[in-house]
Chain A
């Protein structure tokens, strides 16, 4: 199988895709952090203990 040489365009798309990936991961982290804060008012350890005692 013969692969063509990588075009400069692919490199530029790669940088855009990596950037977009980082933004999406950051967005997920923000949502997760916000959820923890909303649910526990910042008391993460208390929330973990509470969750464990409910099991």
Chain B
């Protein structure tokens, strides 16, 4: 195919529903849905199941709107990186303007609908989360500082607080604890990705830790942050979120997580390149399971009635 026919094909390409769905970052959406659901169910207020269902749908759509607006603003970077060059905009399936309009429309619909379905505090919280992800993280932090993932991670940590707000119209210590778990989990998760997607961030000139401070420093940071996360996750078991299942899950999950982070810490680059970053890839995959199981254990404790009544926070 010549360049001319390629351009013609892209102009004639009619995006399908799947292309728009891809703009919503569906894998991130799964995390948003699950953690927001835990936030709603863990809250001490009973809601009608249909209200929960509708609220979760619009929280997910709000997360999807953030994803679409992120892809709109970052399409220049996405086209440079192997990991993202097949996304709908760089691959020519959807134009940048379409993605922008789609993202803003979804953001408006999701915020208004969450306000009508649940309450306006939760809706404003969702609006703030979209603003934080799109403006603070995507437009400002990501291209400016290696702390992009650390501070920007707050956007991905808000969904359980939004879920809690859906049920209670407010914020509490429990919702802040759930936020903190995801907030501390995010940096090691993404730094592991930056280690094995080597070259991508350098080419796109994104100031990830691997680019600004080097790969050795990134390994140190992963180990340090994972220890802090493990200590916090274990501490949370002594709060009102804790329970027997949570405690046992936290002990096992964090022991494995810290061991994996230790393996990343002691490795050097030639060793990692020799096995194509197997340890780093495993750490990244495990981190996803870690978060689902840790949050899932909160639900199991609630279901079994095994949560600690003596939690001091």
Interface majority SS on B: helix, strand, loop or mixed? Answer: helix
Cβ of A9 within 8 Å of any chain B Cβ, yes or no, is yes
Q: How far is the CB of A24 from chain B (nearest CB, A)?
A: 12
Interface majority SS on A: helix, strand, loop or mixed? Answer: helix
Closest to B21 in A: A19
Closest to B109 in A: A27
Complex CA gap A41/B54 in Å reads 14
Q: Which residues of A are in contact with B by a Cβ distance under 8 Å?
A: 9, 12-13, 15-16, 19-20, 30, 33-34, 37, 41-42
Q: How far is the CB of B77 from chain A (nearest CB, A)?
A: 28
Question: What is the count of residue pairs linking A and B with beta-carbon distances less than 8 angstroms?
Answer: 29
Chain B interface residue bracket vs A: 10 to 19
Complex CA gap A37/B54 in Å reads 11
Residues of A within 8 A of B48 (CB): 37, 41-42
Provided the pairs A30-B57, A34-B116, A34-B117 are in contact, do residues A19 and B51 lie with their beta carbons within 8 angstroms?
no
Q: Which residues of B are in contact with A by a Cβ distance under 8 Å?
A: 12, 14-17, 48, 50-51, 54, 57, 116-117
Q: A15-B16, A34-B117 are in contact. List 13 more A-B contacts (CB 8 A).
A: A12-B16, A16-B14, A16-B15, A16-B17, A19-B17, A30-B54, A33-B50, A34-B54, A34-B116, A37-B48, A37-B50, A42-B48, A42-B50
Complex CA gap A37/B12 in Å reads 45
Complex CA gap A20/B116 in Å reads 23
Q: How far is the CB of B238 from chain A (nearest CB, A)?
A: 37
